[in-house]
Amino acid sequence: MQWLPDNRSSLYGYGAFAGVVVASYADLAFNNRLGGEPWQVPVVFALGAAYMTLNVACDRLTAGRPAVWLRAYYAVQIAIVLAAIWLSPARGFFGILGLPLVSQAIFDYGWRGLPTVGALVYGGTVAVWFPAFGWSGVMRGVQSFAPGYIFTIAFSFISRQALLAREQSEKLAAELGAANAQLRAHAAATAELATTRERNRLAREIHDGVGHYLTTIKVQLDAAQALFAVDAARAADSVAKAARLAGEALDDVRRSVGSLAADAARPPLPDVLRKLAADVQPAPDLRIEGAPRGLPAATEHALYRAAQEGLTNVSKHAAASASAVVLDFRDPARVRLTVLDNGRGAAAGGDRAAGGYGLRGLGERLALLGGTLRTGPRPDGGFSLEVEVPA
């Protein structure tokens, strides 16, 4: 019952039930030569009305209640059917009165309901007829009504399976719709996450690349401004260096927009770091420890950005007289890059003291590669930035 309440309690189900009951009572309504007592006809009609009323109220009476309620419903309905057949002055065709109940039991219980309800209705009808018709009459009745019961049982099972299949199809369609909606939501969330990651990547590229060059250019232009009055040649050299750095910044922007250059076009990392160090004043000491080896493009790019960030912070915050960049290849599984200075350490403020965007972005970049970032004051003064990445 719990599977098909809407189907069985639909108007089609009520109509089929009522149609068989009305057909059963037709002989009572129009036969003028009925036997029995006068009171029997109204009682049989009252039983028929109760029979149909209980069918209509079945779902409301049994839904959400223990299974014993449904069993009680069938017990009452079987009693009504057998009482109506027993009291009916008209025999014969009135025996089909129990067919709708057998069909309903099939919808409610499947094969499990047939032996109990079917046997009670069919067997009870035969037993009720026996006193009136004897064995010969009962056997004729059994033969007459057997095809009707067989057809009802077969048709009910076929209809039940069709309704179950339709309900299952509707359930699967609803689940598929929910899954598609969830998939669309996941796709939208994934697209949003990808967009956020790309924004963060571009922000890191702008900060680590353009930010470094702008800082260095400002240092050169400030130096030129200070030297114009006393040393025009050195001032012009600083302006020329600033112009060259602006060109390199433009190249760096192009690299960032196009992501990383092709592996074949990339110069070795030590050479790139030497060029980077040459643009910083005072020039840092660059040391390569261990035998240099080729690294994945993303790893080299992250190490380059780490050196940029470290040297930018040295220029902006450290007030250092000396600095160093150490690229260590000695560990076969990892590469370490360290930027050191003898400046003011963590007291310098800015990124190094507050963990500003530059260091946060560098940490995110390294985390994507499984690397680590450590920063802090050195025991003998100054500041250090150290990164490690798998290689």
pLDDT of residue 8: 46
H or E stretch including 282? none
Q: Which is nearest to 81 in space by CA: 93, 98, 56?
A: 98
Cβ–Cβ < 8 Å for 347, 353 = yes
Between 211-227 and 297-313, two packed helices, what is the crossing angle to 10 degrees?
A: 40
Q: Model confidence over 135-148: pLDDT tens digits?
A: 776 677 677 777 77
Give the up-direction half-sphere exposure of residue 377: CA atoms within 13 A in the CB hemisphere. Answer: 12
3-state secondary structure at position 229: coil
Q: Which residues pair with 104 in a beta bridge?
A: none
pTM more than 0.75: no
Phi, psi of 275 (to 5 degrees): -65, -40
155/160 Cα distance (integer angstroms): 8
Q: Which is nearest to 372 in space by CA: 316, 302, 284, 274?
A: 302
How many CB atoms are closer than 10 A to CB 78?
Answer: 19
CATH topology of domain 267-391: Heat Shock Protein 90 (3.30.565)
Cβ–Cβ < 8 Å for 114, 102 = yes
pLDDT of residue 388: 96
pLDDT of residue 339: 95
> What single letter denotes the amino acid at residue 42?
P
139/146 Cα distance (integer angstroms): 10
Cβ–Cβ < 8 Å for 282, 321 = yes
CATH 3.30.565.10 residue ranges of the chain are: 267-391
383/376 Cα distance (integer angstroms): 6
pLDDT of residue 88: 79
> What are the C-alpha distances in Å from 213 to residues 250, 364, 384?
9, 21, 21
For residue 254, what are its two tokens?
């192009």
How many CB atoms are closer than 10 A to CB 67?
Answer: 10
H or E stretch including 287? strand 285-289
pLDDT tens across the length of the chain (391 residues): 443 445 444 666 677 777 777 777 776 766 655 566 778 778 888 888 888 888 777 877 777 778 788 888 888 888 888 888 878 776 666 777 778 888 878 887 777 777 777 777 777 777 777 666 667 766 776 777 777 777 777 777 787 788 888 888 889 999 998 898 888 888 878 877 877 776 776 666 666 667 767 777 887 788 888 888 788 888 888 888 878 777 777 766 666 655 444 445 678 999 999 988 887 878 899 999 999 998 998 899 899 999 988 988 888 777 888 899 999 999 999 999 999 998 877 654 444 444 556 788 888 889 989 999 999 898 888 899 999 999 8
